[in-house]
A and B are shown apart, each in its own frame.
Chain A
């Protein structure tokens, strides 16, 4: 900037001082004026610290001399403009005539040229004011058909045919040419002819070159054609017919155009390799997981992140945040979600799944030919199911060992499907044979019930699947509302299935994918539907509690709904419109519902399982769960005296139904073996022999202990871990009749006791969180675009702009005023000098005059004296 300025100024001064002298002037201390500075500001470079007043003054004067003085001298000496155009002041001529006459005159003037030797150049022809030759050139570049011979000039014939000829003008001109040739001296004739021949030769050469090029292009075209078939899948029919009709006329154009179009249609996204797909999938999952974690941390944290707007000086402004939320995705403590390990294979499978979904969606769109598509869709679904199953297994595997891909895959392969493929296929075939392919969306719950009742679970799933496809929201505007309602009906239906006698849980399980799909489609509607059910159930429970003081355990339908809730919505969120109320419902059921039968115990256990599932990811503490487990274990104790713990609602220290889990016959433990409890027993326990009942009790105790074990895993990092488990430990240690239990349960019992420490672990005393020091904001430079130096006032952008303009105007005004003053001073000086110069002459004259008169007088005196 400075340098530029310097060069500029130097240039000017050079101009002023006529070179060479300038550098000397700049060094000359008498010429230089140093401006005194009030303050030294570091880093500020002032361009006004040194001035050359002499130079600038002389420059200004010179400039004035060049401009102002000239004007001044020419003042009052103006010219008049006389229009000398033909017939301008002739009022007799009409404008058309005037123009015609002027035109002829102009033509005549140009025709009178003397350049007879110019062969290539003719007069320029125009069309709408533009040179025709120019236009020709522009188009000629592409148009190889046009005659190259006539490039740059048109023959008389051509112009005659095209434009009706230049008429007399042209002929006249050619005549003129001849005349001129004749006028030329004979001696040069040969020379001229030579010239002509030369130029013609050149022209011919050019023509041959062009022909060659054309041939080459034609050859290229033909070759291209032979390849073209290979490149393009099929040449459009239209083109082929064209080819036969006029094989040569438009062939090239057509092809060019074709090529252009095809080039446009062809490009598409690059086919992604499996790796890329996997990477994308992983990225997707990671973002989702990060999102989930963020929600788990809760609103408070979120706010904190949002308010952190202070940007470090080192911030590159590229969205990179050091806090590293991204990294947390890998930081799961007990390996339940080890992204590194299991992502690899999960990605692939998920990718497949997505593919399947996409296909399904396509199916939806052209459902008219739904048969085959449906089959495909079903197969996909099945595959998905199996794969997911495998996935799950691998998940659990990875709990123990950090995901080792190969091994897990083996596990997947080994896992036998529950029903053989053939059987499934056969069942599907049969189902398809019976079922129609389109179903109307059920308008009411009874419609849905009619639609589904009397079919097998697989068929029901199929019916639902087809219903969903037939009524996909993209097919019709009203479908969205219908499907939203359908979700509510489905939940109701599932509830009905679960309360049937016996409960049809297989069908419920089969309908899960559809329910999930609907939920993904309409999260709001799903949320509303589940909320309504939860609210209704919670309300009725509250009412019974108020009336009776105790409520019965929730039925199987509620348990299933809670389970479905966990499948549909993330229970790990800090606050969630569905899962938070579901948590409270669980809490309510675990604290207020009376346990009076083995069914109730079973339901309670289901609730505990659900509760544990809800908190397993977020590792949140659920006091009611632990209370309830303690209460359940308390039911196994026959001697209720001398306890080292207190049981709370809904259990009582003693009373009836306080020994529900006490074994009647201590010898049954030998015949017991571990197997999952049927959910149906939660609904109604079938009449059993005492031995079976005892087995059932043992299963319940086993599950209960396992849940306690899982709890100890889950909560072992909490500061009050030992206090939380203290009652359970006391019970297990002193009161549980573990000797009468089978070996697996005894093992479990031992494991739990090992996991709970006798003495609480040590902890550092609490202190307040250290307040984050408020960072000094000074080290971050505030970057403001400086438009103009000087004082800045105003706050908003507009105000600033206005202030700036005002300031500029003022400065300019002052400058202009100063300039005007200088101008007037300059002029005055000039005038004065003029006057002065004139004055000196007069004085000299006067002096001369006076001297002459003196001389004259003196001479006259002398003459007089002589006389």
Chain B
């Protein structure tokens, strides 16, 4: 134990010493230009092994350089090489500025590097310091502004920052969520959007359009954090105040924001994405992306590509397509045919089942659909129901009944008195892709008949309904859309029962019962 305490003491000593050291040095730098060489020591701390030292040094740098910005002690304009510093004939003051500017650049580089540090605190401190510098640079531009029209914003610094934020090797989602705070500022957001666009273009171009999951995930995290304000009047919150004609500044216009947002997303979606990314994007697409775009119809390429992928992604793409069809007058050929081909056993097991059924319910709610189409859907759903879990069946069975109610010509599926008593093959062709060719209208819903023997009482009851003429009133399926198995289980667990029937032949052993199956295949030992 002793050595550890020793080391603790040492640690404390060193802690105290580095704090004192940094503090005295920063004090001296700011007090007297003679001590400006101390900045090297402070910057050196940024490369320290210890997180605390780095953080402390980062804060110190932030303080020092902000002060220098304020004083105007940083060189403005094109920076001469440090080697040339001595050769040129400059005043000592100017030399000092150039020197400090070089140190500032060093510091920024190190901070950007530190954004890839392992410790989050370090990353966070670096990010905050850099943003502080962005703010300071915005107030005291380091470039010579010969043109007055130029709006002052440290684009270059922000661009490099974004570049580091969107790492291709590391998941930066935590830092990006920290960065969100700065995205509240409208000008920052605007310039981030444009720099992200550049960045995607460059990175993806470099990678020859191959999938880079980590990078794309980072981009997605950043993009999904960007929210364009709904009204132009709300754009007031700037990091850098513009003195000259702020109303004409691009960063102050909603239209420009929307355009930047749209271009950024379109560029991102243009490249091939991993399938999990597709799902993530499609989940939020209709809620947080489409309304913020100036022209959502531009998403049609992405959506139809996603719709063609198949499986859960197609299901999710439906939602976006629906909005486009519904609100933006998109004409989608063979929409129902594609929807029909989407139906396979996996739709009951995906996470987005509720959303899917909600949409299908909307798609098939029109009473002007042809009977053969509805019948094809009904029959296919019925066939698929043979593999569905009870929670899905509780959606599916009322849904099928509703469809038949809406389309009385489909009633032959459950009631065909003309051909009663004559056994026939099922004319329905499951493999047929085209709903018009699958002969669903000539079939009957024997599958529902089968489900009347389902083990769950509610399902069996729902299936029983086809035995008798359906009631006029449609059943509400929105209540059961989100029903989980456990909720279904709780219904029975919570229900009050007066009597509890018991098995009447009492068991004597674990694997001995009148209808033993487990004991046939398994033994206790």
B447-501 contacts to A (CB < 8 Å): 447, 449-451, 453-457, 460-461, 464, 466-469, 484-486, 488-490, 492-493, 495, 497, 499-501
Partner of B446, one of A512, A620, A719: A719
**Chain A contacts for B243, CB-based, 8 A:** none
Query: Is A492 at the interface (CB under 8 A from chain B)?
Result: no
Check B489–A392 contact: CB distance below 8 A. no
In the complex formed, the residue of B with least CB distance to A350 is B505
Query: B421 CB to closest chain A CB, in angstroms?
Result: 5
Report the separation of the CA atoms of residues A767 and B348 in the bound assembly, to the nearest whole angstrom.
Answer: 28
A383-414 contacts to B (CB < 8 Å): 384-385, 388-389, 392, 395
Check A581–B425 contact: CB distance below 8 A. no
Query: Is A65 at the interface (CB under 8 A from chain B)?
Result: no
Query: Is B148 at the interface (CB under 8 A from chain A)?
Result: no
Partner of A512, one of B486, B510, B525: B510
In the complex formed, the residue of A with least CB distance to B350 is A649
Query: Is A185 at the interface (CB under 8 A from chain B)?
Result: no
Check B389–A524 contact: CB distance below 8 A. no
Check B413–A766 contact: CB distance below 8 A. yes
Query: Is B31 at the interface (CB under 8 A from chain A)?
Result: no
Query: A827 CB to closest chain B CB, in angstroms?
Result: 77
Report the separation of the CA atoms of residues A683 and B306 in the bound assembly, to the nearest whole angstrom.
Answer: 42
Query: Is B362 at the interface (CB under 8 A from chain A)?
Result: no
**Chain B contacts for A299, CB-based, 8 A:** 457
Query: Is B245 at the interface (CB under 8 A from chain A)?
Result: no
Check A573–B506 contact: CB distance below 8 A. no
**Chain A contacts for B469, CB-based, 8 A:** 768
Query: Digit string of A224-243 for contact with B (CB within 8 Å is 1, else 0)?
Result: 00000000000000000000
Report the separation of the CA atoms of residues A541 and B489 in the bound assembly, to the nearest whole angstrom.
Answer: 12
Query: B313 CB to closest chain A CB, in angstroms?
Result: 15
User: Contacts A535-B489, A588-B485: A718 and B450 contacting too (C-beta < 8 A)?
Assistant: yes
**One of B214-222, B247-255, B513-521 contacting the partner:** B513-521
Most buried by A among B348, B495, B508: B508
A489-505 contacts to B (CB < 8 Å): 505
Check B504–A766 contact: CB distance below 8 A. no
Report the separation of the CA atoms of residues A760 and B446 in the bound assembly, to the nearest whole angstrom.
Answer: 12
**Chain A contacts for B504, CB-based, 8 A:** 285, 288, 292, 570
User: Contacts A609-B522, A616-B517: A621 and B512 contacting too (C-beta < 8 A)?
Assistant: no
Chain A contact residues, majority secondary structure: helix
Check B515–A336 contact: CB distance below 8 A. yes
Check A759–B444 contact: CB distance below 8 A. no
User: Contacts A609-B522, A768-B414: A584 and B495 contacting too (C-beta < 8 A)?
Assistant: no
Check A609–B502 contact: CB distance below 8 A. no
Check A580–B456 contact: CB distance below 8 A. yes
Query: Is A679 at the interface (CB under 8 A from chain B)?
Result: yes
Check B453–A766 contact: CB distance below 8 A. no
Check A764–B486 contact: CB distance below 8 A. no
**Chain B contacts for A288, CB-based, 8 A:** 504
**Chain A contacts for B516, CB-based, 8 A:** 392, 613
Partner of A523, one of B416, B485, B502, B524: B502
**One of A321-329, A561-569, A849-857 contacting the partner:** A561-569
**Chain B contacts for A648, CB-based, 8 A:** 345-346, 348-349, 387
Partner of A298, one of B424, B457, B514, B520: B457
A506-559 contacts to B (CB < 8 Å): 506, 508-509, 512-513, 516-517, 519-520, 523-524, 526-527, 531, 534-535, 538-539, 541-542, 549
Check B502–A766 contact: CB distance below 8 A. no
Report the separation of the CA atoms of residues A766 and B517 in the bound assembly, to the nearest whole angstrom.
Answer: 35
Check B484–A613 contact: CB distance below 8 A. no
Query: Is B83 at the interface (CB under 8 A from chain A)?
Result: no
Check A763–B510 contact: CB distance below 8 A. no
Query: Is B188 at the interface (CB under 8 A from chain A)?
Result: no
Query: Is B503 at the interface (CB under 8 A from chain A)?
Result: yes
**Chain B contacts for A649, CB-based, 8 A:** 346, 349
Query: B265 CB to closest chain A CB, in angstroms?
Result: 26
**Chain B contacts for A513, CB-based, 8 A:** 506-508
Report the separation of the CA atoms of residues A718 and B449 in the bound assembly, to the nearest whole angstrom.
Answer: 8
Report the separation of the CA atoms of residues A577 and B445 in the bound assembly, to the nearest whole angstrom.
Answer: 31
**Chain B contacts for A615, CB-based, 8 A:** 455
Partner of B467, one of A516, A538, A723, A769: A769
**Chain A contacts for B488, CB-based, 8 A:** 584
A613-650 contacts to B (CB < 8 Å): 613-624, 626-627, 646, 648-649
Query: Is A678 at the interface (CB under 8 A from chain B)?
Result: yes
The count of chain A contact residues (Cβ–Cβ below 8 Å) is: 108
Report the separation of the CA atoms of residues A138 and B518 in the bound assembly, to the nearest whole angstrom.
Answer: 81
**Chain A contacts for B524, CB-based, 8 A:** 505-506, 509, 678-679
In the complex formed, the residue of A with least CB distance to B446 is A719
Query: Is A691 at the interface (CB under 8 A from chain B)?
Result: no
Query: Is B383 at the interface (CB under 8 A from chain A)?
Result: yes
User: Contacts A646-B346, A763-B424: A617 and B414 contacting too (C-beta < 8 A)?
Assistant: no
Query: Is A677 at the interface (CB under 8 A from chain B)?
Result: yes
User: Contacts A587-B389, A620-B454: A395 and B420 contacting too (C-beta < 8 A)?
Assistant: no
Check B501–A531 contact: CB distance below 8 A. no
Partner of B503, one of A509, A568, A724: A568
Report the separation of the CA atoms of residues A537 and B450 in the bound assembly, to the nearest whole angstrom.
Answer: 30
Query: B360 CB to closest chain A CB, in angstroms?
Result: 18
In the complex formed, the residue of A with least CB distance to B390 is A587
**One of A156-164, A702-710, A796-804 contacting the partner:** A702-710
Check B500–A534 contact: CB distance below 8 A. no
Report the separation of the CA atoms of residues A548 and B414 in the bound assembly, to the nearest whole angstrom.
Answer: 41
Report the separation of the CA atoms of residues A389 and B511 in the bound assembly, to the nearest whole angstrom.
Answer: 11
Check B444–A569 contact: CB distance below 8 A. no
Partner of B449, one of A300, A337, A719: A719
User: Contacts A300-B461, A577-B497: A591 and B455 contacting too (C-beta < 8 A)?
Assistant: no
Query: Digit string of A755-767 for contact with B (CB within 8 Å is 1, else 0)?
Result: 0000110111111
Check A392–B517 contact: CB distance below 8 A. no
Check A621–B454 contact: CB distance below 8 A. yes
Check A646–B489 contact: CB distance below 8 A. no
Query: Is B210 at the interface (CB under 8 A from chain A)?
Result: no
Check A580–B492 contact: CB distance below 8 A. yes
Query: B497 CB to closest chain A CB, in angstroms?
Result: 5
Check B386–A623 contact: CB distance below 8 A. yes
Query: Is A441 at the interface (CB under 8 A from chain B)?
Result: no
A657-680 contacts to B (CB < 8 Å): 676-680
Report the separation of the CA atoms of residues A564 and B510 in the bound assembly, to the nearest whole angstrom.
Answer: 7
**Chain B contacts for A285, CB-based, 8 A:** 504
Check A768–B455 contact: CB distance below 8 A. no
Report the separation of the CA atoms of residues A491 and B512 in the bound assembly, to the nearest whole angstrom.
Answer: 18
User: Contacts A765-B444, A766-B444: A573 and B501 contacting too (C-beta < 8 A)?
Assistant: yes
In the complex formed, the residue of B with least CB distance to A590 is B389
**Chain A contacts for B492, CB-based, 8 A:** 575, 577, 580-581, 584
Query: Digit string of A703-746 for contact with B (CB within 8 Å is 1, else 0)?
Result: 10011001000000011100110000000000000000000000
Query: Is B147 at the interface (CB under 8 A from chain A)?
Result: no
**Chain A contacts for B461, CB-based, 8 A:** 298, 300
In the complex formed, the residue of B with least CB distance to A562 is B518
Check B455–A620 contact: CB distance below 8 A. yes
Check A720–B517 contact: CB distance below 8 A. no
Query: Is B283 at the interface (CB under 8 A from chain A)?
Result: no
Q: What are 22 A-to-B residue pairs whose CB atoms are below 8 Å?
A: A292-B504, A298-B461, A300-B464, A385-B508, A513-B508, A524-B500, A542-B486, A570-B501, A570-B502, A570-B504, A577-B493, A584-B489, A587-B485, A621-B451, A623-B389, A678-B522, A678-B524, A679-B524, A720-B386, A762-B425, A767-B420, A768-B469
8 smallest beta-carbon distances between A and B, as pairs = A762-B423, A649-B349, A509-B510, A765-B416, A676-B523, A567-B507, A719-B446, A620-B455
User: A residues bordering B, Cβ < 8 Å?
Assistant: 285, 288, 291-292, 295, 298-300, 336-337, 384-385, 388-389, 392, 395, 505-506, 508-509, 512-513, 516-517, 519-520, 523-524, 526-527, 531, 534-535, 538-539, 541-542, 549, 560, 563-564, 566-570, 573-578, 580-581, 583-585, 587-588, 591-592, 605-606, 609-610, 612-624, 626-627, 646, 648-649, 676-680, 703, 706-707, 710, 718-720, 723-724, 759-760, 762-769, 771
